[in-house]
Amino acid sequence: MSSPHEPAAPSAGITLALAVGNQRRKLPGKAEEETKPQQEEQESKEAKMPINFTIVPVEDAEGDGNSAAAAGSSKPVSLGNMFAKEDDEDNLQGPHSGDNSQKESTPFINSDDDGEQYYDGKNMALFEEEMESNPMVSSLLSRLANYTNLTQGVREHEEYDNEDGVRRVAVTVPQMGTFIGVYLPCMQNILGVILFLRLTWIVGTAGILGSFAIVSMCCICTLLTAISMSAIATNGVVPAGGSYYMISRSLGPEFGGAVGLCFYLGTTFAGSMYILGTIEILLTYIIPTATVFKEGESAAMSNNMRVYGTCCLLLMALVVFVGVKYVNKLALVFLACVVLSIMATYAGVIKTLIEPPEFNVCLLGNRSLKNEMIETCAKTEVIKNITVITEVWSLFCNSEYSNATCDEYFTLNNLTELRAIPGLLSGVIKDNLWGDYGPAGTYIEKKSQPSIEETQDPTDDVYKLYVFNDISTYFTLLVGIYFPSVTGIMAGSNRSGDLRDAQRSIPIGTIMAILTTSFIYISCVVLFGACIEGVVLRDKFGYSVKKNPVIGILAWPSPWVIVIGSFFSCCGAGLQSLTGAPRLLQAIARDGIIPFLQVFGHGKANGEPTWALLLTVGICEIGILIASLDAVAPILSMFFLMCYLFVNLACAVQTLLRTPNWRPRFKFYHWTLSFLGMSLCLSLMFISSWYYALVAMVIAGCIYKYIEYRGAVKEWGDGIRGLSLNAARYALIRLEEVPLHTKNWRPQLLVLCKLDSDLTVKHPRLMSFTTQLKAGKGLTIVCSVLKGTFMTRGDEAKTGEQNLKATMAVEKMKGFSHVVVSSNLRDGFSLLIQSAGLGGMKHNAVLMAWPTGWTQARDPSARRNFIETVRETTSAHLALMVAKNIDHFPNNQERLEEGTIDVWWIVHDGGLLMLLPFLLSQHKVWRKCKMRIFTVAQMDDNSIQMKKDLQMFLYHLRLDAEVEVVELHDSDISAFTYEKTLVMEQRSQMLKQMQLSRTEREREAQLIHDRNTASHAAMNDKPAGAPPDRVHMTWTKDKLINERNRQRETMGVKDMFNMKPEWETLNQSNVRRMHTAVKLNGVVLKKSKDSQLVLLNMPGPPKNKKGDENYMEFLEVLMDGLDRVLLVRGGGREVITIYS
């Protein structure tokens, strides 16, 4: 940039709205050379930005040669070197290093703690003050270009110790494309154990049509979820955490935490399933003799699975703990095993067209036999013209002779040998179209074969020779077992930070992987049904084909290709689960939304989640102890389905809300597809296992409520907040459309609080009373007013509002708080009374504390503010409640064991007086207090009839209260009343004089100031002996004190009899009002002195403002001697009704 001392020249040729000064500050010597490669790299990054714009240089007319050269260059130049320090910190820490911060960090806007930056140039001098908080466009673009987002776990893998023991961090820009970064990881996670160990059994049990329905439902479910996930993943940068990050940032921390933990549990149980699959392959096909528990013992296979599974889990956990790098590097090797196994399967299908494999199955009648020990499928055979018995005879008969005693079914039926794999052209597809379900223990039979049933059950030894169902089979069970084979679609989004262009690669790679795997699954369903005999398909473990995996006998060139391939595939998938699940738990723990998971956010020095790995191993062991792949699969299906359900919900909510930030680059989505996917997920949950579905929902619901109750407060701009805003807007509009009915009336309170000098709440018991009155229902707005201007006291207003919220939280009070700054308190409270609330959600009652110090205050503003507030609430048709001695009211922890709430119903102004005690009695503080209602009868009233009428009225109102009618007899005005009135008027007169003296003093000071200002220049011209100007004071402080002393002396001399002439000069209206206040106070004291709370009708202020100074006196006399008093003034409408 040019020097600021050079004169500015007019810029020429500005053709676009974006103008950036491109002159660089000249760097001396070597420093300039070192920056050139960085600048060139930066320029190349900026050139790749997808935003189309032109950078127009702003040239200086008088610049040095270097500046002119720089200005003449056509390359866009970045000013990123001014932010070099901040860029480095951003790249090292990552965008979400501050996990506990509520405010999301961004590398694009300067933070408050950035050092002061000085822009040495005059082209942008108009904006130089803005640059302290907002970067120039060139700096913004520089930061955008340098912004990298490392996935969780990548950073610790890139850190290593060099030979000197000094830790270095090698951060490289991710360069993976769609194929390597998304397609292959998704393929590896989707294809796995179910394909090799259970798909043939599912096809044989459900039939081709049933299997096609199962596969289609599951694949469509994941495809719709992938479309929703692609929309979310391309709506901005998605860091590591995959589905958890997407759901939590779209639906909020409560949903995110609940579904994140469900996804974590699903991934953990997936590890259990893969380990069980590994052990099943090992003990069934590779080393069947390596068993701890022999076949003769009960549940031997399950116990073997538990022992070997636990050992395998500990070994895998050790590998993950020590060498997680090698797990990631071996991922492609494991994927290669899967691909080779699938290719071998397709090759075997093609080979059946030429020559079917030499595998046969032996049937006795129509029942399939275990042929591991059977060489010849016949009862006898002829060897050298001699008939000899076969292995089958020795298994079913008790001797080698022809007259031996044999099993009845063996005697009645013949042995038949069938090809296990007839081939594609054999027509076996017709037999396999329909399903063959059955309970546990059912023989696997070929229905078309002739068979004669035995009359008695076979012995246990004979029964074990047949192939039979080990579990009961039905359609919904198969759905739950199959669904884990289509999970794994989140693998691409989990690696978003490693991708060259995540917003392009994630949708294409994920959807292509789902389409590819769906094709593989559907084609396998059809090919298995078209090639393999039905009794062989239903043989889960391959006992009828010499204990080979059924898919293995179809594969070419050997079944061992499938055995070895599936074994390594299961090992790799188990390691991947044990690697990914702890990192997911660590991400949830570091977000801080679930307090009891904080410990799992820590790990080794390089970031490895040690504690999370231990928890994962413990949960995984639970799945292994179940010891059945068929029982574990539906469990993890529930958790994955719930996760996918909320991904679809997140996309649908964001789409329907149309928030401004919802701008996915992936355009092929629609909210109807998301809702269809969500419905399909929910249906599959209940189809596969309704009780597991309920358990998963209860777990998620408990986590949701726990986060809502105890979790950290996070604001991620989630869709649920937007949904709440839309619902609130809709409800507010509906509330305004129809006027409120009396049945729905409840006090919606505006609580006027006073803050002390420390900006803390002066009367916290006002909050307690509000809580007791409201019990969390309806609207509560707590406000206060600070005197001054918002520019000077804005921070204090925020502090006061936070203190209000803190006090509300302590009192467990639900509502809103607001602190306004006004030039005077009167205007502030007036604005709050007029404008607080929104639409139909506005307050209808005002609650405030009685201004206790108004008699001692020399400033009458407290009295005037109170009276004006009463007038304004009356004009606004709002109810008013004024609590005297509010600090004596009970807090929320107290329990009033006995006592009464006394209502003095003098005038009817809507029934609020009777409703308030009922509302208070609902709270545990006042629950044991009884309600009493007193009303006043004049001389000409029938008090007995009044009592009956009032009792009937309360009966219709469904209120339980004692009723008492107090007769107020006409009597002469007492001397005490006259004395009270006289003292009141004298005090009012004194306050007026004090106010007058204050006004005069202010006027005098202003006059002196004006005269000094006007004659300042003339003072120097006056002669030395000129007398000073005099100012006439109409009322001085000495005169005020003398007048006050004279009045006191006069009052001291007079006695009560001599005061009678002054009584006659009193305002008779005031005397009558005082007479009423004194008489009522006497009656109330007599009846309600010991009551817990007294509710009184509050008389309104006089319409003529000349009597304002006496109004407070009347109220003081009315409440004199009472401890807890609530003055109530209705809003002019009925608030209680006898109708239902």
d(CA 561, CA 570): 14
Instruction: Give the model's pLDDT for residue 299.
Output: 77
Residue tagged 């009428």 (tokens): 949
Question: Which residues fall within 8 angstroms of residue 588, CB to CB, at 6 or more apart?
Answer: 244, 257, 260, 261, 264, 594, 597
10 Å CB burial of residue 75 (0-12, 13-18, 19+) is middle
Q: Judge whether 966 and 936 are in contact, CB under 8 Å.
A: yes
Q: Judge whether 766 and 753 are in contact, CB under 8 Å.
A: yes
Q: Confidence band (pLDDT; 50, 70, 90) for 741?
A: confident
Instruction: Give the model's pLDDT for residue 955.
Output: 86
With a cut of 50, say whether residue 609 has pLDDT above it: yes
With a cut of 90, say whether residue 678 has pLDDT above it: yes
Cα torsion 603, 609, 611, 614: sign? negative
Q: Confidence band (pLDDT; 50, 70, 90) for 140?
A: low
Q: Which residues pair with 168 in a beta bridge?
A: 160
Among residues 922, 919, 887, 885, which one has the least CA distance to residue 903? 919
Which has more pLDDT, 1013 or 206? 206
d(CA 156, CA 827): 60
Instruction: Give the model's pLDDT for residue 252.
Output: 79
How does pLDDT run across 336-355, given as a tens digit for each residue?
A: 899 999 999 999 999 998 88
Question: Which residues fall within 8 angstroms of residue 1132, CB to CB, at 6 or more apart?
Answer: 874, 877, 909, 910
Instruction: Give the model's pLDDT for residue 244.
Output: 75
Q: Confidence band (pLDDT; 50, 70, 90) for 994?
A: low
Instruction: Give the model's pLDDT for residue 15.
Output: 38
**Three-state secondary structure of 897-909:** CCCEEEEEECCCC
Instruction: Give the model's pLDDT for residue 775.
Output: 63
Least trusted range by pLDDT, from 751-755, 1015-1019, 1115-1119: 1015-1019
Residues of the chain with pLDDT > 70: what percent?
Answer: 72
Cis peptide before 76 (omega within 30 of 0): no
With a cut of 70, say whether residue 804 has pLDDT above it: yes
Among residues 264, 223, 131, which one has the least CA distance to residue 700? 264
Helix (H, G, I), strand (E, B) or coil at 692: helix
Question: Residue 89 is encoded by which pair of tokens?
Answer: 């910190």
Least trusted range by pLDDT, from 73-77, 256-260, 359-363, 937-941: 73-77
Amino acid (one-letter) located at 104: E
With a cut of 80, say whether residue 788 has pLDDT above it: yes
Q: For 142-175, b where at least 16 C-beta lie within 10 A, e where not — what string?
A: bbebbbbbbbbbbbbeeeeeeeeeeeeeeeeebe
Ordered strands of the 360-364 beta sheet = 367-368, 360-364, 415-419
How does pLDDT run across 142-185, given as a tens digit for each residue?
A: 655 554 433 334 344 434 334 344 444 444 444 678 888 889 88
Q: Confidence band (pLDDT; 50, 70, 90) for 929?
A: very high
Q: Judge whether 913 and 905 are in contact, CB under 8 Å.
A: yes
Instruction: Give the model's pLDDT for residue 856.
Output: 67
Instruction: Give the model's pLDDT for residue 455.
Output: 81
d(CA 280, CA 472): 20
Amino acid (one-letter) located at 784: S
Q: For 1033-1054, b where at least 16 C-beta lie within 10 A, e where not — what string?
A: eebeeeebeeeeeeeeeeeeee
Averaged pLDDT for residues 1040-1052: 51
DSSP string spanning 283-331? IIII-TT--SS-TTSTTHHHHHHHHHHHHHHHHHHHHHHH-HHHHHHTH
Average confidence score pLDDT of the chain:
77
Averaged pLDDT for residues 93-106: 41
With a cut of 70, say whether residue 49 has pLDDT above it: no
d(CA 829, CA 121): 50
Question: Residue 703 is encoded by which pair of tokens?
Answer: 């986590």
Instruction: Give the model's pLDDT for residue 659.
Output: 81
Averaged pLDDT for residues 1043-1063: 46
Q: Confidence band (pLDDT; 50, 70, 90) for 429?
A: very high
10 Å CB burial of residue 442 (0-12, 13-18, 19+) is middle
Instruction: Give the model's pLDDT for residue 1130.
Output: 85
- Residue 732: enclosing H or E segment and its boundaries? helix 719-737
Averaged pLDDT for residues 1128-1139: 77
Q: Confidence band (pLDDT; 50, 70, 90) for 449?
A: confident
How does pLDDT run across 864-898, given as a tens digit for each residue?
A: 888 889 999 988 889 999 999 899 999 888 888 88
Q: Confidence band (pLDDT; 50, 70, 90) for 657?
A: confident
Amino acid (one-letter) located at 1088: S
Q: Confidence band (pLDDT; 50, 70, 90) for 614?
A: very high
Averaged pLDDT for residues 841-848: 90
Among residues 675, 494, 668, which one has the least CA distance to residue 584? 494
With a cut of 50, say whether residue 1059 has pLDDT above it: no
Q: Confidence band (pLDDT; 50, 70, 90) for 995?
A: low
Q: Confidence band (pLDDT; 50, 70, 90) for 523?
A: very high
Of these ranges, 494-498, 824-828, 856-860, 1108-1112, the one predicted with the greatest mean pLDDT is 824-828
Least trusted range by pLDDT, from 424-433, 918-927, 1018-1027: 1018-1027
β-pair type (386-389, 1125-1129): unpaired
Averaged pLDDT for residues 1023-1037: 43
Among residues 520, 543, 454, which one has the least CA distance to residue 201? 543
**Long-range CB contacts (within 8 A, 24+) of 1073-1077:** 1073/1110, 1073/1114, 1074/977, 1074/980, 1074/981, 1074/984, 1074/1113, 1074/1114, 1074/1117, 1075/973, 1075/974, 1075/977, 1077/1114, 1077/1115, 1077/1117, 1077/1118
Least trusted range by pLDDT, from 543-557, 618-632, 929-943, 1068-1082: 1068-1082
Which has more pLDDT, 331 or 550? 550
Instruction: Give the model's pLDDT for residue 989.
Output: 61
Instruction: Give the model's pLDDT for residue 535.
Output: 92
Averaged pLDDT for residues 830-838: 89
Angle between helix axes 912-921 and 765-774 (nearest 10 degrees) is: 90
Instruction: Give the model's pLDDT for residue 848.
Output: 93
Q: Judge whether 517 and 487 are in contact, CB under 8 Å.
A: no
With a cut of 90, say whether residue 271 has pLDDT above it: yes
With a cut of 70, say whether residue 717 has pLDDT above it: no
Q: Judge whether 1094 and 902 are in contact, CB under 8 Å.
A: yes
d(CA 1051, CA 1039): 18
d(CA 333, CA 317): 19
Among residues 456, 437, 454, 455, which one has the least CA distance to residue 445? 437
Amino acid (one-letter) located at 58: V
Among residues 498, 423, 460, 416, which one has the least CA distance to residue 177? 498
Q: Which residues pair with 937 in a beta bridge?
A: 967
Instruction: Give the model's pLDDT for residue 334.
Output: 87
Which has more pLDDT, 696 or 943? 696
End-to-end CA distance of the chain: 80
Least trusted range by pLDDT, from 92-96, 114-118, 529-533, 750-754: 92-96
Averaged pLDDT for residues 730-735: 82
Q: Judge whether 221 and 677 are in contact, CB under 8 Å.
A: yes
